[in-house]
Amino acid sequence: MAFLGWGEVVCILAILLLLFGAKKLPELARGLGKGIQEFKKATQEVQSELERVIEEPPPPPRPVSPPANQTVSTSQGTGSPSSTPPTA
């Protein structure tokens, strides 16, 4: 990627002056500056949030317990769970 020389910068500024006029250029430059400032601020916030998450220790694992309202029914003699109730 090549950098722009002074001749190219002057040419671009002249074209902008012709397109937008002398009164609009300061407003456009101000808006561009504010946009760049907001972008840098958002980038720094994301970077600090990522660093905070990386440095934060992971939460301890929670013990897994079966729900209290579910029971496992078994067929007589097989010892495996059954999806249908035993018949009498």
**What is the per-residue pLDDT across 11-52, written as a single tens digit (0 to 9) for each?**
988 998 898 888 888 898 899 999 999 999 999 999 999 999
Cα of 12 vs its chain's centroid, Å: 35
26-61 exposure pattern, b = at least 16 Cβ within 10 A, e = fewer: eeeeeeeeeeeeeeeeeeeeeeeeeeeeeeeeeeee
Per-residue pLDDT, averaged over 78-86, amounts to 57
> What does the pLDDT read at residue 36?
96
pTM: 0.47
- pLDDT score, position 33: 94
